[in-house]
Amino acid sequence: MIHSTAIVDSSASLAGDVEVGPYSIIGAGVEIDSGCRIAPHVVIRGPIKIGKNNQIFQFSSLGEVPQDLKYKGEDTQVIIGDDNIIRESVTINRGTAEGEGVTVVGDHNLLMAYTHVAHDCHIGHHTVFANSSSLAGHVRVGDYAVLGGFTLVHQFTEIGEHSFSGMGSAINRDVPPYMTVAGNYAMAYGINKTGLKRRGFSQSTIRALHKAYRVMIKSHLPREEATSQLKDLIEDHPEVERFVSFILSSTRGVVR
């Protein structure tokens, strides 16, 4: 299952059915669980833990040292979950000591070609990163978020679950859950209605989120007054409660 031209460090731990293609390099401290397929010309450096059934395509670089001048060789790592598709030339860097020391990618994510995940980022589950999306350091991306091609995300920014960014977006503030943003710099364009419908959200919930969006994002009311207007919706819809609490807890400010 390991091509004769591949180089696998003696300290690496690979499950018996892991495939490693020609000219790939698996370094020290790498752990790869069962069902994974490593294409040709992939470089994986440890410490890194890769879960089950991941497909890693050619020219990807996983576990390389962070692109941070403050990094001085500290023992940091990458953790990747199960069932991810990591396409051509994706780069995922290790964490830093000043961060949490770890970069995390969850389960069932699609990282298209040339995606970059910088140090200390945390990606949830079922996300889609279209081609050339890039996360600066310390970014958090919630479950089911979709980043359009060439989306750029500023460091320490949080992208809420079920949100969507348009092609070429430059995101420098937090993106609340369930919302659509686009532009350079990104602006709010409403609730991600299409995505929510596809994922089975009820019309009642989508309408409630749309009202919450108008009150919290479009109206520019003081936070206390806006929250008061949404009291009933917050009580009836946990999604609205999540939307409002995200905005209230944001330290960077949210896209408007």
Q: Which residues are catalytic?
A: 119-120, 137
> Hey, what's the torsion of the CAs at 189, 195, 201, 203, to 10 degrees?
50
Specify the amino acid at residue 225.
E
Which residue in this structure is represented by tokens 């310390």?
A: 138
Whether the CA torsion 192, 197, 198, 201 is positive or negative: it is positive
Of the candidates 50, 58, 47, which has an alpha carbon nearest to the alpha carbon of residue 22? 58
Helix/strand/coil (H/E/C) assignment for every residue in 115-145: CEECCCCEECCCCEECCCCEECCCCEECCCC
Supply 252's token pair: 């960077």
* 200 SS3 class: coil
Q: What is the Cβ-side half-sphere exposure of residue 235, based on CA atoms within 13 angstroms?
A: 4
